[in-house]
Amino acid sequence: MQKSKNVLRGIFIGAGMMALTAFVVEKSFSLKFSESDLNKHYQKLSIIKQIVESSNLPHQDVVFISKSVDSLQSEILTQVKAQTAETPVKK
C-alpha cells in the first residue's frame, strides 16, 4: 500500500514538473547596425547563397541553406522597414 502511494505521488510530481516546464517565454532581441554594415551583411548573404547554389552539395542541403538565407534577408528587410517607419525623418 505504501509503495503504491509513493509511485502515485511520483507520477503526480513528474506530471506537475512537466506541466510547469512546458510553458516557454518568447524573448526578442534587438541588434543595432549602421546602414553600411547592414548592407554589407545583406550582400554577403547573397554571395553565400550564390556559392551554395553552384556547389556540389546535395539538393536538400542547397534548398535548406537557400531558404534560410532568404528568411534571414526577409527578416532584415522587415526590421529595417519597421525601424525606419518608427523614426521620423528630420528636415
For 55-78, what is each residue's pLDDT tens digit?
888 999 889 999 988 988 888 888
- CA–CA dist 25, 38 (Å, integer): 28
- The predicted structure's pLDDT at residue 25: 62
- pLDDT band for position 16 (cuts 50, 70, 90): confident
Q: Is residue 44 part of a domain?
A: yes
Q: Is residue 91 part of a domain?
A: no
- The predicted structure's pLDDT at residue 1: 59
Domain interval for residue 12: 2-86
- For a pLDDT cut of 70, what percent of the chain falls above it? 79
CA-closest candidate to residue 66, choices 53, 54, 76, 75: 53
Q: Is residue 76 part of a domain?
A: yes
- How many domains are contained in the chain? 1
- CA–CA dist 49, 42 (Å, integer): 11
- The number of angstroms, rounded, from the C-alpha of 89 to the middle of its chain's C-alpha atoms is 30
| pTM reported for the whole predicted model | 0.55
Q: Is residue 35 part of a domain?
A: yes
